[in-house]
Structure 1
Amino acid sequence: MNPFLPMTRQDMENRGWDELDFIFVSGDAYVDHPSFGPAIICRLLEKHGYKVGIIAQPDWRGEEDFRRLGRPRLAFLVSSGNMDSLLNKFTAAKKTRHEDAYSPGGKSGCRPERAVIVYTNKLREIWPGVPVIIGGIEASLRRFAHYDYWTNRVRRSVLMDSQADLLVYGMGEKQILEIASDLHQGVAVENIQDVAGTCYRVPDFDYVYDYVKLPDFETVAVDKKAFADAFADIYLEQDAIRGKKLVQRNGEACVVQNPPAMPLTEEEMDEIYDLPYQRTYHPMYEKAGGVPAIKEVKFSLVSQRGCFGGCNFCAIVSHQGRIIQRRSHASILREAKLLTELPDFKGYIHDVGGPTANFRRPSCDEQLQRGTCRGKECLSPTPCKNIVADHSDYLSLLRELRKLPKVKKVFIRSGIRFDYLMLVKDSFLEELCKYHISGQLKIAPEHISDRVTRLMGKSNKEVYRKFVQRFKAMNERLGKKQYLVPYFMSSHPGARLEDAIELAEFIRDLGYRPEQVQDFIPTPGTLSTAMYYSGIHPLTGEAVYTAKNPQEKRMQRALMQYWIPGNRPLVREALRLAHRTDLIGFDKKCLVHPEKTAGQEKNKPRKRR
C-alpha cells in the first residue's frame, strides 16, 4: 500500500476506496511533512477515520486535474499552500520570482495568482453543490476587506471572491475536525456557523447577534481612516478567550468572523506531530529533483507555536496567535529519534523552535485564563512588568536532545528574541554559544532608529547594543570565534532617509556588513501593512510616513549596504537630500567617497609596469 495519501484513482483503488470523504486542493507540491499545512490537516483527518486525497498544484486552465479523484462525499478543502500565492510569485519590487521552493525542482509558475479564488471558482464550475472550505495563510489573512499591495487597492474578503462556503483562519486543526464531524452527521454546510476560528456569510446583520460591527468594504475601500479603524477592531479582538464576533458587509452579503479557536493543549500538539508522516516529498517529484522546501525542515523540530514578540510586520499574530502552544518533551524526543533513523541523517538536528525559538511558555501566567492584554504588547516598546522570562524548559529540552545517540549537534536556526533573552540571567546564552550555533547566529533587530523600532514593535538599539556586548563577552569567555548576523529591513512605515542614515552609521560603527536586507512587503493582515496603506497607526491614530517612491526605497536599501560599489551613487544622492554631505569624503566616519570627476579620471597616475 502506498504510504502517501492518494493522489490518483489508482492510489484510491490500492486502498480499496471508491470514494473520498475530503479532497484537499493545494497550491504546493505534496510534501508529507509536519511543516506543511496540507499534510497536517490531511493526516489529522485520516487519523480520525476520514478518507482523504490530495490534488497538488492542479492545472487551473483545464478540468482534468480537478476531476481526477472524483466527487468527495463531504467537501473540498482548498489552500494556496504554505505561502500567499502573490508573495510566492512577486518580490517587494513586484518583479516575478524565478524560483518556487514549494514546487517540483523549484520551478515557478506552477500555481495561479490568487490561488484560493481560482481553485475554488474552478471547483464550483465542475462540482456544483459540493461544499468548499478554504483555509491556509492566504485565506486566513484575507478574511476581511484588505489592502492588496500587488494591485494597490483594497479588495473585499476572499470568502466573497472565492464564493467558498466556509473560511478557516488560523492553523485549522480544531476547526477542521469540528466541521468534518458536522458534515458527517448531515449538517448542511450553510448551517455550520458556530465553529471558533471560522468565517461564514449571511445576507444581513439581522442574522447575527452579539458582535462588533466593522466599517463596510465600500467605506474602507475609499476611506483610509475607516480602514485603520476596521483593522484596529480586527487586531484587538484577535484572542480566543476574550475576542468578540466581528461582522463586515462586503457587497451583497456580510462576512461573519467567529472568535479564534482555542490554543492547542500539549496533548493536542503531540497528537498532530505524532501522525505518520512520510517526512519527504511524494516520489512522483523525484525526476524533477524533488521539492526544495523540504531541505530546510527535514531535520528540524517544531517545538511550539504562537508568538508574543509583537513584530507588527509579521502575520503570526493574525494566524497562530500570541499565546504559546507547546509540545511535550516526549513527543519532540520521539520525533528526534525518528530523524536519526532516516538514511540521510548526518547527525545534525538543524533547528528546535517555532516562530521564536526561545518562547516555550506563555508570556505571563494569566493569559490562559484571561487571554492576551487588549492593546498592550509583551515586549515592545518596553517589556511588560508581568512578563515571565524563563528558559528552563527549553534548556532542559535541548539537553535531552543533545544526549540522544547518533546526534552530533543540535542547532537553533529559528528566531531568537534577544530582548527576551536579556530579561533573565540564566545559562541559556552560555549553552546557546557553546552547543547550538556554529560560527554565526542570525538575529533580527530589523532597525535601530527609535521611531522605526517602535512602529515595528521591536526593542530599541540600546537593548541590541547590550546584547551584542554580552554575546561577544560570552564567546570570549568560551574561547570561541562566533559572530552575529543581523537582519535589517528597509522602508518600513515610519522610516525616512535620516533613519536609514542613522542605521548606516550604526552598522559602520559596529563593523557589520549585512549580507541581506529585506525591503518591507505590505502583506495582508499585518499592522504594518495597515500603516503603509492608511498612513495612520490604527492603535494610536498617529500619522505615519511611509516611503513609497521607488527611488527613495532604493536609497534606503542602498544605505544599509553602503560599501557595495553599485550602491554608492544612491548613497551619495540620499546623503545630499538629507543634508548629510559630511558623510561623503575620505574620513573614516564617511560612508562613501566623493564621485570622481572626468578630470580626475583623466589625470589619474598610471601604474608602472
Structure 2
Amino acid sequence: MENRFLPVSREEMRQRGWDQVDFVYVSGDAYVDHPSFGHAIITRVLESRGFRVGIIPQPDWKDKDSIAVFGEPRLGFLVSAGNMDSMVNHYSVSKKRRKTDAYTPGGIMGKRPDYACIVYGNLIRQTYKNTPIILGGIEASLRRLAHYDYWSDKLKRSILLDSGADLISYGMGERSIVEIAEALDAGLDVADITYIDGTVCKIRDKNIAYDALELPSFEEMKREKRKYAESFYTQYCNTDPFSGQRLLEPYENGIYILQNPAAKPLTTQEMDDVYALPYMRTYHPMYEKDGGIPAISEVKFSLISNRGCFGGCSFCALTFHQGRIIQVRSHESLLEEAKALTEEPDFKGYIHDVGGPTANFRFPACEKQLTYGACREKQCLFPKPCRNLRADHKDYLKLLRKLRELPKVKKVFIRSGIRFDYVMADKDDTFIRELCKYHVSGQLKVAPEHIADPVLQMMGKPENAVYREFAAKYKKINEQLGMKQYLVPYLMSSHPGSTMKEAIALAEYLRDLGYMPEQVQDFYPTPSTISTCMYYTGVDPRTMKPVYVPKSPHEKAMQRALIQYRNPKNYELVMEALKKEGREDLIGFGKHCLIRPRQTGEDRYYAEKRRKAQEEKNRKPRKKKTIRNTHKAKKRH
C-alpha cells in the first residue's frame, strides 16, 4: 500500500488514476493523518479493504459546492464533526465562545459550524438527494438517541432525524464501517441496512425490531423528565456488545430509531493491524502555510496502548462511546511505533504518554467480560472494587520497562490519567514505585474530583479516604526515593449533588492542604452521561431519587470561586457564599479562615496612612548605618 496522504481534491484523485471515489469523508477537523484522529483511522481502514476514499476537511458550510469536491461518491458520504463534539469545541461551560480551535489550521476558531453533523448532513442532502450518508465520530455517537442538549437547554431527538443521514456508526467504528461499506458495495439499499452491530438506523416497520426493548417515545420524554431518566438508564445498561439489547425509540409519524448492540471489541491482533496502517503521522502539507495544526503537538510523541474504560465516572461519556471492555495493543506493536518515533527529526528523547482513556488499564476488569460482557447494573470499581476485579499492573510495567530501554529514549511519561483507586487495589507497590521513579516529572496529575463523599457518590468516584491513602503512599514512596514530587489534583465544581456545604468543605480541604489549583473544571453537561441526565432531570437515573443540582450561573460561580478562594478576584463571591451558608467562622484572621473581613472606610483610611508612612520611612537615607560602616572602613584601613 502506497504511503501518502489520501486525496483532498479532484486533482489528487485523478493523480491516482481514479475517476470517482467510493466514499467521501467530510470532517469538522483539519486533515491529520495520525491514529489519534478518528477520520484517519476510518479512512485508512477502508483503504486497506480496497475502497477509494477522498477527504473534505472543514468544508465551507455556507457554500454547497464545497461538498462537491469529488462529485458524487459511488457508495456514500461519511460525516463526522471531528474529534470533539462541535459545541464543546466551540463553547466553554459558561457558554462563551472559545478563542481558539486546536483542530484547525493556525488554531483559528470558526472553521466548522455549530452542530456540525446536522449542518454537514443537510448540506450534502441539498445536492445529493439519494446518496447514502453515514454519521460517525463522538458527536453523532453521543447524540444517537434522544439527548439533553445543554447549549439550547432542550431535549433533542436523535441526530439521525435532524441531519438527514441514513445511518450512524457509533463508538469506535472499524468493524461497523467495513460491514456498511461491504453491504453498500454488494448493492444493498441503505434503508435495508438495519442489522449491523454498532449502528443506528431509521425504520417504519416495527416488526423488524421484534426483539428490541422499546423506550418511552420522544413526546413522552419531552412531557416528563423522569421518563427521559428511565430511558437513559435503559440505554446505559445496554451499551455492552455482549449483553446489550437492541433498543427502539418511537417518534411521531410512525418513525422509529433502532439502535443495534455495540460492535464487538477488537482483539489485540486487530488493534495492532489498525495502528500498523500507513499513516503519515502528521497534518496535510497544505496547512503548512497557516502554521500547521496545533493538536498534533499533543499526540505526535505519544502512544495509544488501550481503549475503553471500566472506571465508570458519571460525568464521562466513554461508556457510551468506547465501552467498558478494555482493548489493548501488543507490546510488539507499541515498541515498533516507539522506535519509529525515535527516528523523527524533532524527537528529543521523550515519549509523552503511554495510555488511553485510563493509562493503567491493560486488560478487561475480569475474565468473564470477553464472554458475557460487563455487568449491566454494577460497576467494577464503584463504590468499592468488585471482588472479581483483577488489579494487576505487571503487564503495563513490562511494557514501560521495554520502552525505557529503547535507544534514544531518555524518559517515558504517563500523562493520560492514572486511576488511583485501581493502583490502591493492587497489593503490589511495584507500579507506584516505578511510576514515581521513572514516569513523573515533578508533578503527577490525578483526578479525585472532590472530597465530599455525597458528591463523590453522584460522580461514581471512590470515597475520599481512598484518595487520602493514595496521596500518603505517593508521598512516602517519593521520600524513600529522595525525590520531591507532588500531586496535582483535578477538581470539579457544581456537579449534581454538590450543595454550598460541600463546596465549602472542599475549600477547607484545600486550605489544610496549602494548595490552590490554577484551573478548576466547572461541571459541563455534555450529551449522554449520567451526570448530564441528573442535571436535566433532577434525579439520579440509577435510583430515581432526587438530586440537588446547582444550576444558576451565580451559584455555580460561587462554588467555583470557593475552590480558588485565595484569588482576590473571587473575594466578593466567597464572602457571599460563606455568609449565605452561615459560615462566618471562616471569615477572620485565624489560620482556619478562608478570607479576611471586609475593610470599612475607616480601616482603609488608617491602612493607607500606615502605607504612606512606611513609604516615607523607606525613602529616608540610613545615615547611622553609613557612618558606622565608614568608621569600620577607616579602622580597617
Q: Same fold (TM over 0.5)?
A: yes
Instruction: Name the amino acid aligned to 1:342.
Output: E
Counterpart-to-counterpart distance in 2, 1:442 and 1:301: 18
| 1:607 and 2:613 are equivalent in the alignment | yes
Determine which of 515, 521, 542 is the counterpart of 1:518.
521
Deviation digits for residues 371-408 of structure 1 (CA, Å, limit 9, x no counterpart): 11111111111111111100000000000101111111
Aligned to 2:482: 479
Aligned to 1:111: 112
Instruction: Specify the SS of the correspondent of 1:133.
Output: strand
Change (3 A) 1:408 1:515: same
Instruction: Name the amino acid aligned to 2:339.
Output: K
Counterpart-to-counterpart distance in 2, 1:419 and 1:135: 33
Instruction: Name the amino acid aligned to 1:78.
Output: V
Aligned to 1:138: 139
Task: Please state how far the C-alpha of 1:513 moved relative to its aligned partner.
Answer: 1.6
Counterpart-to-counterpart distance in 2, 1:286 and 1:598: 59
Task: Please state how far the C-alpha of 1:150 moved relative to its aligned partner.
Answer: 0.3
Task: Please state how far the C-alpha of 1:64 moved relative to its aligned partner.
Answer: 2.3
Instruction: Name the amino acid aligned to 1:365.
Output: E
Counterpart-to-counterpart distance in 1, 2:233 and 2:573: 37
1:304-383 pair list within 5 angstroms: 304-383=306-385
Counterpart-to-counterpart distance in 2, 1:251 and 1:179: 27
Report the identity percentage: 58
Aligned to 2:568: 565
Deviation digits for residues 498-517 of structure 1 (CA, Å, limit 9, x no counterpart): 00111111111122221110
Aligned to 1:4: 5
8 Å Cα contact 2:458-2:497 kept in structure 1:
yes
Task: Please state how far the C-alpha of 1:540 moved relative to its aligned partner.
Answer: 0.6
Counterpart-to-counterpart distance in 2, 1:108 and 1:271: 35
Instruction: Name the amino acid aligned to 1:374.
Output: R
Counterpart-to-counterpart distance in 1, 2:512 and 2:104: 42
Instruction: Name the amino acid aligned to 1:187.
Output: L
8 Å Cα contact 2:141-2:169 kept in structure 1:
yes
8 Å Cα contact 1:157-1:250 kept in structure 2:
no
8 Å Cα contact 1:303-1:352 kept in structure 2:
yes
Counterpart-to-counterpart distance in 1, 2:475 and 2:510: 16
Counterpart-to-counterpart distance in 1, 2:451 and 2:382: 14
Task: Please state how far the C-alpha of 1:250 moved relative to its aligned partner.
Answer: 2.6
Aligned to 2:621: none
Counterpart-to-counterpart distance in 1, 2:273 and 2:507: 47
Instruction: Name the amino acid aligned to 1:607.
Output: A
Counterpart-to-counterpart distance in 2, 1:295 and 1:591: 39
Which shows bigger deviation, 249-258 or 105-114? 249-258
8 Å Cα contact 2:3-2:279 kept in structure 1:
no
Determine which of 480, 497, 501 is the counterpart of 1:494.
497
1:539-578 pair list within 5 angstroms: 539-578=542-581
8 Å Cα contact 1:82-1:137 kept in structure 2:
yes
Instruction: Name the amino acid aligned to 2:126.
Output: E
| 1:156 and 2:162 are equivalent in the alignment | no
Which shows bigger deviation, 199-208 or 575-584? 199-208
Task: Please state how far the C-alpha of 1:334 moved relative to its aligned partner.
Answer: 0.8
Deviation digits for residues 112-146 of structure 1 (CA, Å, limit 9, x no counterpart): 00100100111111112111000110000001111
Aligned to 2:584: 581
Counterpart-to-counterpart distance in 2, 1:277 and 1:437: 30
Counterpart-to-counterpart distance in 1, 2:3 and 2:271: 26
Give 1 or 2: higher helix fraction. Answer: 2
Instruction: Name the amino acid aligned to 2:278.
Output: P
* Higher alpha-carbon Rg: 2
Aligned to 2:406: 404
Instruction: Name the amino acid aligned to 1:356.
Output: T
Moved over 6 A (4+): none
Task: Please state how far the C-alpha of 1:607 moved relative to its aligned partner.
Answer: 3.4
8 Å Cα contact 2:419-2:446 kept in structure 1:
yes
Change (3 A) 1:414 1:2: closer
Instruction: Specify the SS of the correspondent of 1:200.
Output: strand
Deviation digits for residues 259-303 of structure 1 (CA, Å, limit 9, x no counterpart): 100111101100111111111111111111111111110000000
Aligned to 1:418: 420
Instruction: Specify the SS of the correspondent of 1:590.
Output: coil
Structure 1: tracts of 5 or more residues without a match: none
Instruction: Name the amino acid aligned to 1:100.
Output: D
Deviation digits for residues 196-245 of structure 1 (CA, Å, limit 9, x no counterpart): 01000111423321111100111111211101000010001111001100
Instruction: Specify the SS of the correspondent of 2:445.
Output: strand
Counterpart-to-counterpart distance in 1, 2:519 and 2:148: 27
Aligned to 2:244: 243
Instruction: Name the amino acid aligned to 2:383.
Output: P
8 Å Cα contact 1:2-1:11 kept in structure 2:
no
1:183-202 pair list within 5 angstroms: 183-202=184-203
Aligned to 2:534: 531
Instruction: Name the amino acid aligned to 2:366.
Output: C
1:442-453 pair list within 5 angstroms: 442-453=445-456
Instruction: Specify the SS of the correspondent of 1:444.
Output: strand
Counterpart-to-counterpart distance in 1, 2:208 and 2:465: 52
Task: Please state how far the C-alpha of 1:3 moved relative to its aligned partner.
Answer: 1.1
| 1:61 and 2:67 are equivalent in the alignment | no
Structure 2: tracts of 5 or more residues without a match: 617-637
TM-score of the pair, normalised by structure 1: 0.99
Counterpart-to-counterpart distance in 2, 1:581 and 1:184: 71
8 Å Cα contact 2:167-2:200 kept in structure 1:
yes
Deviation digits for residues 543-590 of structure 1 (CA, Å, limit 9, x no counterpart): 001100111000000001111110111111101111111101110010
Which shows bigger deviation, 195-204 or 553-562? 195-204
8 Å Cα contact 1:349-1:409 kept in structure 2:
yes
Counterpart-to-counterpart distance in 2, 1:266 and 1:21: 29
Counterpart-to-counterpart distance in 1, 2:577 and 2:583: 8
